[in-house]
Amino acid sequence: MNRPLLVLLFLIGLSYAPGAWAQANGSIPAKDTGLSANNQNIPGSQMFIHPGYDAKPYNPSANAENDIATTLKKATAENKHVLVQAGGNWCSWCMEFNRFIHATGQIDSLINKCFIVYHLNYSPENPNKAVFARYGYPQRFGFPVFIILDAAGNRIHTQNSEYLEQGRSYNKQKVWEFLVQWTPQALNPALYK
């Protein structure tokens, strides 16, 4: 079997066994892992609202350039990636994702462990055209759209949120898999030697 295929199979296995990956890498405590492949029993998925929850997380008057620079410094210091959630307070799916991640214990824990979150505003008052252009015009996917940056500010992934939806909210396992696949630990070259 060739090496790229083995790596791909390994990654697919990670997406269905995040508990084993997290335990092996020491990145997430065992009690916060353990997704079942059928999305029926996700420990830590009880619905609660995290104390840091902000019902209106987008700031149309924010200077996104400066805020992202500050966020990147924090990500570097904490060895994390940046999860940019682009959208606006006008966007019901953006508000639902914000509520969803804070109300789903396991996902909230994963985000706090591996990412610094920044809400990039897109609205008539401030469309942040230069920032969206720098990240390859992700608004083409609709909103919210997720942009993963490494700590150096390089865009390493853009995620269309449509693929994470389920009914009128988001699918816990799909969101978990998306996030786990873009953690700094998942992109550690030592895993693929």
What pLDDT, in 10s, does the model give residues 15-62? 433 333 333 333 333 223 333 333 333 334 334 444 566 789 999 999
Which pLDDT score, from 0 to 100, does residue 4 have?
A: 43
The enclosing H or E element of 98 equals helix 92-103
Amino acid at site 116? I
What pLDDT, in 10s, does the model give residues 72-89? 999 999 999 999 999 999
Is pLDDT of 9 > 90?
A: no
Lowest-confidence pick of 11-15, 100-104, 110-114: 11-15
pTM as predicted: 0.75
Mean pLDDT of 146-151: 98
What pLDDT, in 10s, does the model give residues 86-101? 999 999 999 999 999 9
- Look-up of token digits 């700094």: 184
DSSP characters for 29-95?
Answer: -GGG----TTSS--TT--B---TT--SS---TTS-HHHHHHHHHHHHHHHT-EEEEEEE-TT-HHHH
Distance CA 161, CA 143 (A): 7
Calculate ∠ Cα 62-152-61, nearest 5°.
5
Q: Which domains does the chain have, with CATH numbers?
A: 3-192 (3.40.30.10)
**Cβ-contact 87, 147 below 8 angstroms:** no
